[in-house]
Amino acid sequence: MKAQSTKLNPFLPSDPLKFRWIWLNWAFGFFFIASVFGLLMRSFHIWEIPVLEYRNILHTHSHIAMLGWGFLILTGGMVFSLAKAENEIRKFGWLFIGAVVSALGMLASFPVQGYGAVSISFATLHVLISYGFVYRLLILLNSEKSTTGIRLLRLALGFLVISTLGLWALGPINAQLGKMHELSFMSIQWFLHFQLNGWFVLGALGLIFLHFERSGYQFHWPKYQEIILAGSVILTYALAVTWAEPSPLAFQINGLAVLIQLVAYSFLILALFRGFWKVDLLPIVRILLISAFVSLLLKAALQAILVFPSIAVISYTIRMYVIGFLHLVLLGVLTMGISGLAVQKNWIEDTVISRSGWALLLGGFVISELLLFGQGTLIWLKLGFMEDYHLYLFLGSCLFPIGLGSLLIQVLFQKIPFQNISNPKIKFQKITTQTMKKSLLWSAGILGILLTACGGGTEQSATSTETSSAPATEAAAPDPKGIGEIKSVDLGTGIDASLADAGKAIVDMKCTACHQLNDKRLVGPGFQGVTNRRRPEWIMNMITNVDVMLEQDPTAQKLLEECLTRMPNQNLSQADARGILEFMRRNDEEKAGERDAAVK
Ligand code: HEC
């Protein structure tokens, strides 16, 4: 019997409790790595970071956080809460390995090539593997009585599948219409929206309800409530549509949906709080679960404010809000919720080490959320940046890898109950060094293979861009004149005062909300010195063709990464832009004492 089951999967122990331990290690390992990449991103705003590309680091961070950590901890929570027999758990062996390998593949390829042949292949592999998970988990769910927890988990799996439809659409859209097309953007938003608001949130809630139900708290969730919750998750996608196409209808749909959602969530959160007091929980678990509930309430409330279209627009033009919201769901609801359960179930032991880990993690979470939402609001109020914002954000974020480091140490070295899961008498015994060595060896081996595979892959993708139909300008060195209709500008000898005055009138009206005339950054860079660092053609293209510039011009992209806000398109004519340029030249002559250095 034993020999046969080992043969089923030569890479994993047949003991389900060991398997669970390995699963947790990989999940927290990816979480730790994601936090290091997150910290790296924040350091970009403080120091010059050589070699590394901000965008690639961003993609690595988000993929590892969502598909490494989020996916593994949620599926793991489901597998080990639902499976009753050992052989049910073993059926997830290959799927688990596939999920880990695809996440490792993304980890090895995204930092080097960003979105490229190798990274996209691993991301696709991950999608396919998630279907396997959905299939196997649905089998487990169908053998259960349809309680609130089970129904929520089923909904979560449904949204996981729905989210991936956006990714399948992306291929044809990018090939036919190009990466900059609205539909391409909307497909990515589709994936993110249903992952976060459907799969992650409902999955975490489902597991919490399931635990409460099994601890004796029963809650009847009316069918109509389930329908309006699912409906609101689908309809709130309208917000993403308003970004690309600000139609009144889309705003109205979103407005209606967020209000319905608030009602649906209030109902569930009330039930959770009732259960919270009826069920026996460890003190640290209470703290973690309360954080998850509060995050959920804040998420629903924040979305509810979006009934006002003017606020709905701000929600996505100010990047800090977007990042704050993403973290609220992933760190607040998902991480705190499932971690609480994992401690309560003794999957992670409650020790001094793990407690300090949770405290640091919570601290980093609260500090960075306050900074993100605070700074976002300052920008909304046109008050500019708080002093040393980026430094504080960086320091607060240092708590993440430190906290996760302690949690990883806890999970790696904790005593594990090694015994058949069906055996009620669970014996505790320290994990042998041999098993540890074995799993470390395996990890190193897989990583090695992936890194070599990736080295070859990068070359391959480089040649494929050459032969693809992409315009040659994309691969060529950046054009200092930028991208757009303006190919050359005749600056003349002096400064045309009346032209500059006309420019000043436009700047006063349309630009000073975000740009100051000195060298200090507000939302965008200060205008002082701009004619010394950029060519006149670049400046005019930036003003008249900002959307394309932000998508394709490396200099503009770098600015976007620093400022985290997209400069809006203001529909200015070339003549308007020429006036503004003249005004900027005069401004530089007066303030910087030098103008047009970029063309000298
Ligand atoms: C909502 C805020 C906002 C408004 C309004 C705005 N900008 Fe910008 N601008 C930005 C941001 C932010 C950047 C940096 C690039 C990015 O993140 O999009 C930027 C970058 C620029 C740059 C490049 C600066 C550099 O140092 O290279 C120029 C030039 C510029 N803006 C001109 C203008 C002009 C002219 C107007 C008014 C017609 C204007 N902007 C209105 C936010 C704004």
Q: Could you tell me which residue, 183 or 19, shows the higher pLDDT?
A: 19
Mean per-residue pLDDT, 319-324: 87
> Count of alpha carbons within 13 Å of 109, Cβ hemisphere only?
27
Count of other CB atoms within 10 angstroms of residue 297: 16
Nearest CA to ligand 1 atom 41: 511
Q: Strand, helix or coil at 489? A: coil
Q: What is the per-residue DSSP string for 542-565?
A: HHHSHHHHHHH-HHHHHHHHHH-B
Please identify which residue in the block is written with the tokens 């995204």.
110
Pick the closest to residue 88 from 14, 10, 7, 199 (CA basis). Answer: 14
Gap from CA of 369 to ligand 1 centroid (Å): 26
Contacts of 130 (CB under 8 A, 6+ apart): 71, 99, 160, 164
- pLDDT of 55 above 50: yes
Give residue 49 CA to ligand 1 midpoint distance, Å: 24
The single-letter DSSP state of residue 569 is P
Residue closest by Cα to atom 21 of ligand 1: 524
- Which residue lies with its CA nearest to atom 12 of ligand 1? 524
pLDDT in tens, 214-248: 999 988 999 999 999 999 999 989 887 776 666 78
pLDDT-based confidence at residue 448 (cuts at 50, 70, 90) = low
133: pLDDT strictly greater than 60: yes
Per-residue model confidence (pLDDT) at position 427: 37
Atom of ligand 1 nearest to the CA of 530: 26
Dist. CA 224–CA 38, nearest whole Å: 40
How sure is the predictor about 314, in pLDDT bands with cuts at 50, 70 and 90? confident
What are the DSSP E strand ranges found in 454-562?
Answer: none
Task: Give the Cα separation of 390 and 524 in Å (integer).
Answer: 15
| 432 pLDDT more than 60 | no
pLDDT at 436: 53
For range 546-558, the mean pLDDT: 88
What is the structure's pLDDT at 364?
97
What are the residue ranges of helices labelled H in 328-415? 337-344, 352-380, 389-413
Neighbours of 519 (CB within 10 A): 13
Per-residue pLDDT at 248: 82
User: pTM for the full model?
Assistant: 0.75
Residue-wise pLDDT tens digits, 80-100: 999 988 888 989 999 999 999
By alpha-carbon position, which residue is closest to atom 36 of ligand 1? 511
Residue with the larger pLDDT of the pair 180 and 505: 505
- The pLDDT confidence band at residue 447, using thresholds 50, 70 and 90, is low
pLDDT at 540: 96
Task: Report the range of poorest mean pLDDT among 70-74, 109-113, 522-526.
Answer: 522-526
Calculate mean pLDDT across residues 382-387: 75
**The pLDDT of residue 258 is above 70:** yes
The Cα 553–Cα 478 span in angstroms is: 7
Closest atom of ligand 1 to 523 CA is 12
Q: Which of 156, 154, 255 is nearest to 196 (CA)?
A: 156
| Window from 113-117, 424-428, 556-560 with minimum mean pLDDT | 424-428
Distant-in-sequence contacts of 385-388, Cβ < 8 A, 24+ apart:
385/521, 385/522
Which of 222-236, 376-390, 538-552, 574-588 is the least confident region? 376-390
Q: Percentage of the chain surpassing pLDDT 90? A: 54
Strand partners, 591: none
Q: How far is the CA of 567 from the centre of ligand 1 (A)?
A: 5
Q: What is the pLDDT of residues 456-476, one digit of tens each?
A: 333 333 333 333 333 333 345
- Would you place residue 8 in the very low, low, confident or very high pLDDT band (cuts 50, 70, 90)? low
Enumerate residues lining ligand 1, CB below 6 A: 506, 510-511, 513-515, 523-525, 530, 534, 539, 542-543, 550, 556, 559-560, 563, 565-568, 570, 572, 580
Q: Which atom of ligand 1 is nearest to the CA of 560?
A: 17
Domains of the chain: 497-599 (1.10.760.10)
Q: What is the mean pLDDT of residues 524-533?
A: 92
Q: Are 47 and 445 in contact (CB under 8 A)?
A: no
CA angle 441, 443, 445 (to 5 degrees): 70
Which of ligand 1's atoms lies nearest the C-alpha of 529?
26
Question: What separation in Å is there between the alpha carbon of 514 and the centre of ligand 1?
Answer: 7
**What pLDDT digit, counting tens, does each position of 474-485 carry?**
345 678 899 989
Pocket test for ligand 1, best of 380, 520, 559, 567 (most atoms within 8 A of CB): 567
